[in-house]
Structure 1
């Protein structure tokens, strides 16, 4: 298998799997449709790619020197997941552009990745596997491949949400859907605390 294909397979496996960023993309697609959700998709992809590049150029060494920083990022991520779960659980179920209902933003998507322990693990593991020697050409190749794969993966979740939008015509159904997603986010947070 070629290096590029191996990088793409790694990127797909870690990007398409369920996680907090994808759950938010699914919810955004269901509530606001695909076009509005693409801000979140773009922000999450750009945020992840920046984290990946910085990891490749030595951020992982800084975290190894200060393990407390890694733990602080993990706890910030858990707090953020619980906050998102609380917001979903309290949502009134109104779709679209109802009062107080805005799709996730570009900046919010990027910030989610920086608070997402799954993203940190993917960056460290990926760079360790494909560019541990710090070869800048490999780091940039991996970043470009990952950007494309990550964008398409998160967009698939938003698209899936937009497909089920028609089945969520009533606020009661949306509330049930949101509470299910909130439980998934709490499950992600519990997994991070236990890990």
Structure 2
């Protein structure tokens, strides 16, 4: 168990730091509350867990075979995140009469993670760094998937609760336009590391 602690600390640090997924969880928590955000958070956590397991099992090598696949993932991921950023920036205040129809769901969260080259790089790097924790690729895949999935679920829950609490404290629609604009801007900015 002592040898797993460095991996656990890495996954917690990697998943709790601000980024597109955490900002999306915060915005969803503010707009739809914790319960309404559970499908999104589960989708993101499942996406990251499956990505980590896939990277540990060797799928990251597939990305290096085709020169066009990483670029296609970057473009698709960037466009999707920019679309989400626009939706969040334009969202009304929670409880407003023009409230968004429904929260972002499980598939959208899963899709977002699988099209994130930064996530692939992070999980592939972690799989290489912690490969000595397992005796074979399947065992490493399970270990990496569980570690990243659990850490993501916990950190996204914290960010979602922060968004929900923010919603309880801000009552002015003008302030909500600022908050939603800032959250949308953060998601848009989170695409920059994909291209740098």
Match for residue 188 of structure 1 among 178, 186, 190:
190
1:149 is aligned to: 151
Instruction: Give the conservation status (yes or no) of the 8 Å contact 2:53–2:140.
Output: no
Extract unaligned runs of 5+ from structure 1. Answer: none
Matching of residues 170-189 of structure 1 within 5 Å: 170-189=172-191
1:169 is aligned to: 171
Give the 3 Å change call, closer, same or farther, for CA 184–99 of structure 1 in structure 2.
closer
Give the 3 Å change call, closer, same or farther, for CA 39–98 of structure 1 in structure 2.
farther
2:81 is aligned to: 81
What is the CA-CA distance between 1:3 and the residue it aligns to?
Answer: 2.3
Matching of residues 105-144 of structure 1 within 5 Å: 105-131=105-131, 134-144=136-146
Extract unaligned runs of 5+ from structure 2. Answer: none
1:20 is aligned to: 20
- For normalisation by structure 1, the TM-score amounts to 0.90
What is the CA-CA distance between 1:98 and the residue it aligns to?
Answer: 5.0
Inter-partner Cα distance in structure 2 for 1:97 and 1:55: 44
RMSD, aligned α-carbons: 2.1
Q: Give the 3-state SS of the residue equivalent to 2:103 in structure 1.
A: coil
